[in-house]
Amino acid sequence: MTPKRSEHIALGLMVSGAFLALAILFFIIAVIMIKGLPHITLRFLLDNPMDMGRAGGIFSTIVSTVYLLVVSLIIAIPLGVGTAIYLTEYTKEGLITKIIRFGTECLAGVPSIILGLFGFILLVIKLGFGWSVLSGGISLSIMILPVIIRTSEEAIKSVPASYRDINKVLGGTRWQGITRLVLPSAAPGILTGVILSVGRGIGETAVVIFTLGTSLRIPFSLFDSGRSMAVHFYLLAREGISMNNAYATAAVLVFSILFINILSYYLMHRFVARRR
């Protein structure tokens, strides 16, 4: 085979691979949209589920999902960003950073069903939080923590080293440098990590089903149980309750992820543009 020919074949394989990947994405979205969109109405969004989800809407599951995500982000963002700051700004590369990084990688590799079980045993049973937004939020925060640490670390590392030098020259402490220069400059990157983790969290079932529960009411207190959209979809489909409502829920889920992504890119670009 001539080098030119092998070049052509390699290129052809890679292009078709890329298109195949894209095609799968479009196929999945298309199926969900075709089967789900016709059933999405304003009432579907604003009504609570009735008859175990056979009728009515998905309002309570939307509320549960948002509530769950907010709680998990409130826990995971300070922990994750704090860890990233410690790793990049306060320690020299060494045994400790290696251990922390290795631990983070391991945490990222833990199957979500294990995290669900862990949350169930520790939070739901042992600590007596029961199936609740609190249990679900804590468990989910453990799942998204590695993503936030990793992306925040990369974002903080990409802040020019000269900022830290000048901060010193101008008499700023390390903490002042972090809060006034490093974090604002790293914010778009950190935000990307947060969005990524919201995307993962919003579609998570295994962690949530054991810890948030499956109740169809609207959760008010942190100790109320609820049912996230993803879990709702899973139960509707698995128990064959209503495929129409299952697909409609899935469509709402996909739309939310799309919306969050677009919004975050918009915010990010605005943020970056303002600082240029």
Partner 1 sequence: MAEFILEIKHFNLFYGDFPALKDLSFSIKEHTVTALIGPSGCGKSTLLRSFNRMNDLIQGVRTEGEILFKGENIAQNGINLVALRQKIGMVFQRPNPFPLTVRDNITFGPRVMGEKKADILEAAVEKSLTRVGLWKVLKDSLEKNALSLSDEQQQRLCIARLLAVKPEIVLMDEPCSALDPIATLRIEELMLELKKRYTVVVVTHNMQQAARVSDETGLMYLGELIEFDNTKKIFTTPSQKITEDYVTGKFG
Interface with partner 1 (CB under 8 A):
92, 160, 162-163, 165-173, 176, 180-181, 185, 274-276
User: In this complex, which beta carbon is closest to partner 1, that of residue 102 or of residue 271?
Assistant: 271
In the complex, least distance from residue 266 CB atom to partner 1, rounded to whole angstroms: 20
User: In this complex, which beta carbon is closest to partner 1, that of residue 182 or of residue 206?
Assistant: 182
DSSP string, 160-207: -HHHHHHHHHTT--HHHHIIIIIHHHHHHHHHHHHHHHHHHHHT--HH
In the complex, least distance from residue 102 CB atom to partner 1, rounded to whole angstroms: 23
User: In this complex, which beta carbon is closest to partner 1, that of residue 260 or of residue 267?
Assistant: 267
User: In this complex, which beta carbon is closest to partner 1, that of residue 128 or of residue 160?
Assistant: 160
At residue 52, φ and ψ (nearest 5 deg) are 60, 20
Show the tokens assigned to 176. 């002042």
In the complex, least distance from residue 101 CB atom to partner 1, rounded to whole angstroms: 20
Show the tokens assigned to 180. 């006034």
What is the amino acid identity at position 219? Answer: P
Query: Using the 8-state DSSP alphabet, how is residue 38 labeled?
Result: G
User: In this complex, which beta carbon is closest to partner 1, that of residue 63 or of residue 182?
Assistant: 182
Collapsing DSSP to helix, strand or coil, 241 comes out as: coil
Estimate to the nearest angstrom the gap between the alpha carbon of 260 and the chain centroid.
10
Among candidate residues 200, 262, 265, 237, the one with its CA nearest the CA of residue 68: 200
At residue 253, φ and ψ (nearest 5 deg) are -60, -50
In the complex, least distance from residue 90 CB atom to partner 1, rounded to whole angstroms: 13
In the complex, least distance from residue 143 CB atom to partner 1, rounded to whole angstroms: 33
